[in-house]
């Protein structure tokens, strides 16, 4: 059993283990794959600083995607667990790119169309 980290959902005390059970009610609703990607994203954040540029983020995503491609090319003898692991890591880095380079959802919500128009004038 692989372990991707603890639940990143606020207030959740459960451990997210892959691919088995233990999820908070929030994670049961959104599905285990989304929970696992979130846990992988939290693990990556704890180990590595934010992306410094879009180029760096792209390079990290490309590296993860290349690792996934290496597993896919082993067809028909590929290992489903390795495929899943690489897909999860690729998804987590794509989300990290969106957050680190494009900004958080909260910051985009704070910037309303009215505020953008006011800044132009």
The model's confidence at residue 19, banded by pLDDT at 50, 70 and 90, is very low
Residues 57 and 105 in one domain: yes
Across all residues in the chain, what is the average pLDDT?
A: 77
Instruction: List the structure tokens of 111.
Output: 């910037």
Of 4 and 91, which is predicted with more confidence?
91
pTM of the model: 0.64
Residues 72 and 116 in one domain: yes
Residues 43 and 56 in one domain: no
The model's confidence at residue 109, banded by pLDDT at 50, 70 and 90, is low
Domain range for 18: 1-47
Extended beta strands in the chain, E state: 2-6, 15-18
Phi, psi of 16 (to 5 degrees): -95, 115
The pLDDT score that the predictor gives to residue 34 is 82
Residues 80 and 114 in one domain: yes
38-70 pLDDT per residue, tens: 999 999 999 999 999 999 999 999 999 999 999
Residues 63 and 23 in one domain: no
The pLDDT score that the predictor gives to residue 43 is 93
- What's the rounded Cα separation, in Å, for the pair 71 and 81? 10
Instruction: List the structure tokens of 77.
Output: 């003898």
On the question of pLDDT at 90 being above 90, the answer is yes
Residues 18 and 69 in one domain: no
């Amino acid at each position: 059993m692989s372990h991707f980290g603890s639940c990143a959902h606020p207030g959740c005390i459960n451990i997210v283990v892959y691919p088995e059970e233990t999820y908070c009610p929030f994670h049961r609703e959104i599905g285990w794959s989304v929970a696992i990607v979130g846990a992988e994203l939290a693990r990556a954040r704890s180990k590595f600083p934010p992306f410094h540029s879009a180029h760096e983020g792209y390079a990290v995503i490309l590296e993860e995607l290349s690792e996934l491609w290496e597993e896919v090319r082993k067809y028909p003898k590929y290992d489903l667990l390795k495929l899943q692991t690489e897909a999860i890591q690729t998804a987590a880095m794509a989300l990290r790119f969106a957050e680190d380079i494009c900004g958080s959802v909260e910051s985009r919500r704070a910037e309303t169309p009215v505020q953008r128009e006011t800044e132009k004038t």
